Structure formats: C-alpha cells, structure tokens
C-alpha cells in the first residue's frame, strides 16, 4: 500500500481545498478495510498541520480505536518537535487527549502527567489531561491528581475541579482524606470555589469509603452550604453512601431546606432509599408545602403506572 500515493489522491500533498481533502479522507472507509485505514490515518497525522484536517483524522481514528494509533496521537499531542505550533493547535491537542483516553492504554499515563504538571502548558490541555487520566483508570495517576486538587497556588480552579472528578472516576481511597479536607476548610475561604466543592462531593459519592464517619459528616455539613447545587450534590452522595443515618439526614433536609429544587431532590433520594412510603407521607402530611405534595402525587402516579402488570399475550 503506497501511503504517499493515497495522500496525493486525497489532495493532502498538493495543498488542495481543505473541505475537499476532508471529504476525500472520509470517503476512504468505502475503499479500505480497517487495518489499512488505521495505517493511512496514522500516517496522515504527520503530513498536515491544518487543524480541521487533523481533527477529521483524529475523529476517524477515535471511531476505530486501534492501539497502533497511540504513538502517532501522542506525538501530535505532545508536539515536542513543533513547539511553535502548540498555540495554534490547542483544540486539536484537546481532541487528541480524548482519543488517547478512549484507547485506555496505561502507557499514555506518563506523558499525560507530564503535561498535567506543566504549569506553563495551556489550561485546556491540562484539563484534558486530568479528564483522560480519570478515564484511563490507572492508579499511578492518583497521587499527582491529589497534588493538583490540594494545590492552592494553582492558577486554574477549573483544573482542580477536573482533577477532583478524575479522582472520583479512579475510585482510589487515597483520595478520600484530601477531598474531605477541602469540604472541611473553614467556611468563607472557599465561597468562590463553589464548583470545586461540587466536584469534590460528586467524587466522594463515587468512592467506596466504607461508611467513613468523617466523610459522612463532611457531606452532612455540606447540606448547610449557601449553594443549592452543593446541597443537591450532597444529598445524592449521602443517598449513595449506604450510611445508616442517610435517611434521617436527608429527611431533615426535606423538611428544613428553603429551596424548592433541593426539597424535590431530597424527596427523590428518599424515594430511592425507602420506596413509596415517603411519597404517601409527604402527600398526606400538613408539614410539607403544596409544591412538594404535588411532586409526591406526581411520583405516586408514575410509580403506579410503572408497577402495572404488562398484559399476557395469551389474555
């Protein structure tokens, strides 16, 4: 198979119109089998610097997800030989990181960590690295991700959020203490980091922390946060905690919280934990507001619809 000849036919070498080149590349899957397609796409990555063509090639490779693509994708992502092109290909490199993550090859962890820890690197690239590390699932990434979450000097709070989410995906218990420490930080200091706290709570909800009282208390205290979304996230995490105090804790929130959406989420969580009895209680008790009664009635109606027996075909 003559790659150069195929590249000429696609217009990649003579500098044809970009849209035409992309159309020609997309038409290759009608001509070649998977193994040859991968070889063609892998080779084409080094033959162009046009962002649109590169994105097309990355998308093609990501659909196939062959491990032979890891090396050329990493070369493009790292751009060690093309430092001057880095800034013009940020979005291409982000897409590269996503395709690399989907290959789930642990040999990509070290180069991803290299870019994650490079504070001179574009923040979008570092965000993509954190997300990719979470998806690949290698425990070697846990300690560096914890370091990012804990780093109060980090300029990008978005990166700390992504690192927290990645830790949730990795599910390693080493992340519990540093994540809880963020929630335990003195109130007021973290008010501007609401989204970070949301991601931390989501991550804790995914970790199997074996009814750790410190984690549960941190989540419980988050029910008093000024942000309704943080309270909602805390309710969901408490629901998944399997802690024996989960029901009474969420029920307190159902009664006392002032936000309608928080109350509705508390009702859904309690329904998931104890079943229809909480819906009947809310619908028939005078201590709950009308909007919540209506929500309970609506859920009861849905519950009854879902529980109806499907008629037997012989009937």
Return the CATH number at 232. Answer: 1.25.10
Residue 312 inside a domain? The answer is no
pLDDT greater than 70 at residue 177: yes
Residue 243 inside a domain? The answer is yes
> Domain range holding 284?
210-307
Instruction: Report the range of poorest mean pLDDT among 17-21, 40-44, 62-66, 304-308.
Output: 304-308
Residue 71 inside a domain? The answer is no
Q: Can you tell me the mean pLDDT for 8-24?
A: 89
Instruction: Report the range of poorest mean pLDDT among 52-61, 123-132, 191-200, 305-314.
Output: 305-314
pLDDT greater than 90 at residue 40: yes
The Cα 300–Cα 93 span in angstroms is: 49
Interval 124-163: pLDDT, tens: 999 999 999 999 999 999 999 999 999 988 888 889 999 9
Q: Which residue, 87, 99, 88, 155, is CA-closest to 128?
A: 99
- pLDDT bucket at 315, cuts 50 / 70 / 90: very low
Residue 296 inside a domain? The answer is yes
Residue 107 inside a domain? The answer is no
pLDDT at 137: 92
Q: Look at the chain and report how many structural domains it folds into.
A: 1
Interval 286-313: pLDDT, tens: 889 999 999 999 999 887 766 555 455 5
Instruction: Report the range of poorest mean pLDDT among 70-79, 175-184, 287-296.
Output: 175-184
Q: Under 8 Å CB-to-CB from 208, ≥6 apart: which residues? A: 171, 173
Interval 227-284: pLDDT, tens: 899 999 999 999 988 888 999 999 999 999 999 999 999 999 999 999 999 999 999 9
Residue 246 inside a domain? The answer is yes
Residue 289 inside a domain? The answer is yes
pLDDT greater than 60 at residue 94: yes
Q: Which residue, 61, 55, 6, is CA-closest to 34?
A: 61
Residue 172 inside a domain? The answer is no
pLDDT greater than 80 at residue 226: yes
Whether the CA torsion 55, 125, 135, 193 is positive or negative: it is: negative
Task: Give me the chain's average pLDDT, please.
Answer: 89
Q: Which residue, 152, 155, 154, 175, is CA-closest to 165?
A: 175
Q: Under 8 Å CB-to-CB from 46, ≥6 apart: which residues? A: 72, 75, 76
CA angle 205, 197, 90 (to 5 degrees): 100
């Amino acid at each position: 198979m003559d790659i150069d000849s195929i590249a000429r036919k696609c217009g990649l070498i003579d500098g044809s119109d970009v849209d035409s080149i992309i159309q020609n590349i997309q038409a290759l899957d009608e001509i070649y089998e998977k193994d040859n397609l991968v070889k063609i796409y892998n080779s084409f990555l080094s033959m162009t610097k046009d962002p649109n063509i590169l994105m097309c090639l990355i998308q093609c490779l990501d659909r196939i997800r062959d491990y032979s693509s890891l090396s050329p994708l990493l070369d493009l992502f790292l751009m060690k030989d093309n430092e001057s092109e880095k800034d013009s290909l940020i979005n291409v490199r982000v897409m590269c990181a996503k395709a690399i993550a989907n290959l789930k090859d642990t040999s990509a962890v070290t180069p991803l960590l290299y870019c994650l820890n490079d504070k001179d690197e574009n923040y979008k690239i570092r965000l993509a690295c954190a997300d990719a590390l979470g998806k690949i699932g290698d425990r070697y990434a846990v300690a560096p991700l914890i370091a990012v979450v804990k780093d109060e000097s980090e300029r990008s709070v978005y990166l700390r959020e992504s690192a927290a989410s990645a830790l949730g995906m990795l599910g390693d218990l080493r992340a519990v203490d540093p994540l809880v420490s963020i929630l335990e930080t003195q109130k007021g200091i973290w008010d501007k980091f609401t989204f970070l706290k949301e991601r931390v709570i989501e991550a804790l909800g995914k970790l199997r922390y074996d009814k750790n009282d410190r984690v549960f208390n941190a989540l419980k205290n988050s029910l008093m946060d000024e942000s309704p979304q943080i309270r909602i996230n805390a309710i969901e995490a408490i629901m998944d905690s399997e802690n024996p105090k989960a029901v009474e804790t969420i029920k307190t929130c159902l009664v006392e919280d002032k936000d309608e959406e928080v109350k509705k989420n508390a009702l859904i969580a309690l329904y998931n934990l104890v079943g229809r009895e909480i819906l009947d209680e809310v619908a028939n008790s005078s201590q709950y507001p009308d909007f919540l009664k209506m929500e309970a009635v609506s859920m009861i109606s849905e519950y009854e619809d879902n529980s109806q027996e499907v008629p037997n075909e012989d009937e």
